[in-house]
Structure 1
C-alpha cells in the first residue's frame, strides 16, 4: 500500500520540461560526485591501480539507481528536485513503489538514449507525460511556494 503525501496549500500542477532539466543538472552533479567517490574507493582497494571493466561499470549503475530509488521512494524528491520544488508521485498523490522507481529509471535511460525523444514527448502528449512517466505510472508535479 502506498503512502499518500501530506496535503499542501495551493494548486499542484505538472512540472515543465525546463524545470525537470534544471533539476536533472543538479542531480547530475551529485551523481558524478558519487561516481568519483566510488572510483577513489575502488582504486584504493585495487592497490592504486586503475579500475575498469564490467564489474566496476555494474557497480556504478547500481549505485546510481540506488541514489534515485532511495530519494524517489522514500522522499518523493531528489536533492535537485527539492531545489526546484518538484515531486514524483503516483496519479493519486502517493509515494511511488520500488518497482515503479525501477521502471522509471530504466525507461528514463531509454528516453535519454533516443536523443531525448522520451523527454520531449511531453511537449506533444495530451497528458504532458514523458515516456518514463507513462510507463511507470508516475508524474512529476510542481509544488506550490512555501508560505512565509
Structure 2
C-alpha cells in the first residue's frame, strides 16, 4: 500500500457515510424483523404475555425491557458492521466506492474493537465535523479517539485492497 495516501476530506467522508447509512438501515430492518419473529415465538409459546397490546410491534413499544433489548440489538448490529469491515480491509462498502480506508497511524488495519470504538465515537457522523477545522491532519473526532486516520486511496491501491479479500 502506498504510504503517500492523502488524508480524506469531509466531502468523501460524508458521501461514504450516506452509502453506509443505507446499508446499516437494511441491517437494522433485518434485525428488527428477526426480533419481531422471536418475540412472536415467545408469545406463541406462552413465555411472553401480550397484555393490552394489539400486536407484537405494539407490545415491544409498550414493554420497556423489549424496547431496550431491541435498541441494544440495533446498536450492536451497527457497531459490528463497522468493526468487522474496518478490521477486515479498512473499508466499508461506501468507503470502497469512494476509495477511502481507515487505518491505524502505523498503517496497519484497526482491530475489531478499535473499529467498534471508532464507530461509537463517530457520534452518528457528527465527529467528522472536526475535519473542517483540523487543516493539517484532516482527522475526525473518532480518528483521534481511536488512533486511526482515514486516507484517500489511488485507484490501484483500492483495487489491491479489494483483491486481497479473495
CA distance in 2, matches of 1:44, 1:129: 42
Pick the structure with more helix per residue.
2
Aligned positions of 1:1-148 closer than 5 A: 7-8=1-2, 11-47=4-40, 49-50=56-57, 51-52=60-61, 53-109=67-123, 112=125, 116=126, 118-125=127-134, 126-146=136-156
Aligned to 1:3: none
CA contact (8 A) 1:87 1:141 kept: yes
CA contact (8 A) 1:17 1:119 kept: yes
Is there any run of 5+ residues in structure 2 with no aligned partner, and where? 41-54, 62-66, 160-166
CA contact (8 A) 2:86 2:92 kept: yes
Per the TM alignment, residue 66 of structure 1 is displaced from its structure 2 partner at its CA by 0.7
1:47-79 deviations in Å (ceiling 9; x for gaps) = 261134101100111111111100001111001
CA distance in 2, matches of 1:127, 1:80: 22
**Partner of 2:128: helix, strand, or coil?**
helix
CA contact (8 A) 1:11 1:144 kept: no
CA distance in 1, matches of 2:111, 2:31: 27
1:74-121 deviations in Å (ceiling 9; x for gaps) = 111001111111100011110112332132122112x74xxx3x3221
Between the two proteins, the alignment pairs up a number of residues equal to 136
CA distance in 2, matches of 1:21, 1:108: 12
Is there any run of 5+ residues in structure 1 with no aligned partner, and where? 1-6
TM-score, reference length from structure 1: 0.83
